[in-house]
Amino acid sequence: MLLTYIARRTLIGVIQLFCLVIAVFFLIRLLPADPVSRLVGLNSSEEAYIQAASQLGLDRPLFEQLGIYLGFYPDISPGLLQGSLGVSWTTSSTVGSEIAIFLPVTLQLITLAFILAFALSVPVGMLGALHPGKAADKGVFVYSLFAGSQPEFWWGLLFVYIFYFQLGVAPAPLGQLSPMTFPPDPVTGFMLIDTLIAWELGKFIEALHHLMMPVITLAFILSGPIIKMVRQNMVRALQSDFVLYANLVGLPRKRVARYALRAAMGPSMTLIGILYGFMLSGAVLIESVFSLGGIGQYAIRSVLAFDYPAIQGVVLIITAISLVVYLLLDLLHATIDPRIAY
Amino acid sequence: MSEFLHDVLMKKPIYVPPKRKTDWLMRIGVTIVTVVCLLAVFGPYIGPYDPTRTTIRIAEPPPGILEIPGLLAEWIGGTVDHPPHWMGTDANGYDIFSRVIAAPRTDLRIALFANLVSLTVGVFFGLVAGYWRNWSTELIVRISDVVQSFPVFILAMVLVALAGRSATNIIIALAFVYTPIYLRLTRAEVLSQTSRGFVEAARAMGNSELSIALRHVLPNSLTPALIQSSVTIGFAILLTAGLSFVGAGVRPPTPEWGLMISTGANQIVLGEWWPSVFPGLAISLTVFGFAVLGNALERRYEKG
């Protein structure tokens, strides 16, 4: 039963990704941009221009380009079917290997931010839900509305000014480690894990220190929608029949609240998943403020350089990860909430 | 019965929406939105300096709070050689105050038009896809699903950067990104309306399907989309500013909040906070205002 469900979701996901790949492919080629002149420069000779265009494969018919990208012509170059995302036009290394460097940075950043935001939001949201209409509830409500509508890159800069320039407790926003520190061997690509594998605790603490500010900024922004959702689901759970029953049998209020919380967490998972998928590309502004070098910054670089294979690769990978996260959280939802079966 | 039991047996678990005599939150929202709208119309004219011209004073800090009354008196008395820079000047010598109040012309215009376009297109296709259900309208919904599964920020960035960094292209990009939201909202509402009595009645009266869809179903299905507008305008402002911040938005020297923050971003580690802080404060308040307004409208119209 569960396996059929997973198989069906995976199949739908693959179809969705395929449509997305086609859509992105044509979308970026329909727009009036000239990647060749961006690469060779505006003042290059016509021969150089034509040569560059043929090197990039842009002189071929559009559908042949698509075929090559999808991997129907493995003798010309490997494509998606062969598991290759193509070669970046600006750096000449494969898009897959580049994404493997940039993606873990973003995953590490947003996962930590989600954990922090969730840990803060659950008690705050419960506070609001347990005292509906009271001053605490109103305060929680206004806070969540405020935090959810803020320009995160500006808060990042503000925190840099306060905590780095004024107080000096945070490091300069110059990346995952200080520019002077030699990074550990990239094994997993996650700085925190790599420093632990290399057993360099000094660097581990340094990496944590550098992550502190971007994580706090993101967690602040994320706490808005999460608090709102926890509060809403909690209020709904507190009105449900099993809570009524639990109260009738005379269970202590704290215990009832804990039961209700568990029931409220289930539906929250869906929104967490959507937020996580959104943050994969939404963290881009925070990444640039703190120069972390994540997937978002890679996307900016590729877009501004008209690097089509890189753009296609980033969109594909980000969407694929969000689909996987949606699936995992739906499964988690079923584990938390026994009323749901697939 | 179960609700009655609730009331009797539990002390205070039922959620009663807070009833206020005056919805002060809504007042804040309306005030902020009104001020921003007024600035979008008059902002570029009322600033003391031309928002697109540099002055000779570079990176001048704003006056301290205690100096402001004195400066104001001098300014009104006409004893200063140039109008004071209330928010200082940035690294290029632009007067920040003039630019902050001129920026709604750019930001709000982009957000409003993007919202208008996506609202119109989304509501139209939502109505079509909800009222006439067949394979072609199903296709519309599927296409909108694919668009919605795009990473929003990257999609907007790709559209603007590849089509050219102009306000029109930003409007088109944002409209493209937000259309599926309206399509979905309207379609869901239309679906719930078509089974209701007044639609049957209109049909029994001999109205054509087109007239039922346009004159009966459409007006009754607009509320969710209109409420969403306020929220979308706020987020469109955030997205516009974000695009400028990474260099895929409007071109300098257009007065735009995100661009101003980005100009000041490099100096903030050196302690020059004013070029970024003031425009950011403007975005922060504006988007909050629109969010508050949207929420107040939602509470007001979705209860009944």
Q: How sure is the predictor about A133, in pLDDT bands with cuts at 50, 70 and 90? A: confident
3-class SS string, chain A: CHHHHHHHHHHHHHHHHHHHHHHHHHHHHHCCCCHHHHHHCCCCCHHHHHHHHHHHCCCCCHHHHHHHHHCCCCCCCCCHHHCCCCECCCCCCEHHHHHHHHHHHHHHHHHHHHHHHHHHHHHHHHHHHHCCCCHHHHHHHHHHHHHCCCCHHHHHHHHHHHHHHHCCCCCCCCCCCCCCCCCCCCCCCCHHHHHHHCCCHHHHHHHHHHHHHHHHHHHHHHHHHHHHHHHHHHHHHHCCHHHHHHHHCCCCHHHHHHHHHHHHHHHHHHHHHHHHHHHHHHCHHHHHHCCCCCHHHHHHHHHHCCCHHHHHHHHHHHHHHHHHHHHHHHHHHHHHCCCCCC
Q: Chain A within 8 Å of B26 (Cβ-Cβ)?
A: no
Show the tokens assigned to B6: 């609730």
Ramachandran assignment for A34, one of left (phi > 0), alpha (psi -120 to 50 degrees), beta (any other): beta
Chain B residue closest to A244 (CA)? B6
Show the tokens assigned to B212: 């039922």
Comparing CB atoms, the residue among A173, A241, A284 nearest residue B269 is: A173
Mean of the per-residue pLDDT values for chain B? 84
Chain B residue closest to A172 (CA)? B269
CB contact under 8 A, A154 and B149: no
* B93 vs B115 pLDDT, higher one: B115
Report pLDDT for B138. 84
Report pLDDT for A7. 87
| Residues A42, A49: Cα–Cα separation, whole Å | 9
Report pLDDT for B1. 47
Comparing CB atoms, the residue among B9, B155, B283 nearest residue A248 is: B9
Cβ under 8 Å to A: B residues 133-152: 142, 145-147, 149-152
Q: Would you say residue B18 has pLDDT above 60? A: no
Chain A environment of B150 (Cβ under 8 Å): 20, 23-24, 315, 319
For residues B256 and B107, is the Cβ–Cβ distance under 8 A?
A: yes
Q: How sure is the predictor about B4, in pLDDT bands with cuts at 50, 70 and 90? A: low
Q: Which of B7, B162, B263 is the best residue to mutate to test the A interface, defined by the most A CB atoms within 10 Å of its own CB?
A: B162
Q: How sure is the predictor about A154, in pLDDT bands with cuts at 50, 70 and 90? A: very high
Q: How sure is the predictor about A32, in pLDDT bands with cuts at 50, 70 and 90? A: confident
In 3D space, the residue among B126, B144, B104 whose CA is nearest the CA of residue B236 turns out to be B104
pLDDT in tens, A164-218: 888 888 887 877 877 777 788 777 878 788 888 888 888 888 888 888 899 999 9
CB contact under 8 A, A289 and B246: no
Chain A environment of B269 (Cβ under 8 Å): 160-161, 164-165, 172-173
Q: How far is B204 from chain A (nearest CA, A)?
A: 40
Lowest mean pLDDT among A109-118, A247-256, A259-268, B8-17: B8-17
Cβ under 8 Å to A: B residues 230-259: 234-235, 238, 241-242, 245-248, 258
Report pLDDT for B32. 92
Chain B environment of A231 (Cβ under 8 Å): none
Q: How sure is the predictor about B195, in pLDDT bands with cuts at 50, 70 and 90? A: confident
Chain A environment of B17 (Cβ under 8 Å): 133
Report pLDDT for B112. 93
Report pLDDT for B35. 92
Please report the ipTM that was assigned to this predicted complex: 0.85
Q: Would you say residue A290 has pLDDT above 60? A: yes
Chain B residue closest to A232 (CA)? B15
pLDDT in tens, B122-173: 999 999 988 888 888 888 888 888 888 788 888 888 888 888 888 888 999 9
| Residues A269, A273: Cα–Cα separation, whole Å | 6
Report pLDDT for B19. 57
Report pLDDT for B10. 56
pTM reported for the whole predicted model: 0.86
Q: Would you say residue B22 has pLDDT above 70? A: no
Report pLDDT for B82. 77
CB contact under 8 A, A151 and B238: yes
Q: Would you say residue A161 has pLDDT above 70? A: yes
Q: How sure is the predictor about A52, in pLDDT bands with cuts at 50, 70 and 90? A: confident
Chain A environment of B258 (Cβ under 8 Å): 151
Between chain A and chain B, the number of residue pairs with CB atoms below 8 A apart is 170
3-class SS string, B214-281: HHHHHHHHCHHHHHHHHHHHHHHHHHHHHHHHCCCCCCCCCCCHHHHHHHHHCCHHHCCCHHHHHHHH
Q: Would you say residue A94 has pLDDT above 70? A: yes
CB contact under 8 A, A288 and B246: yes
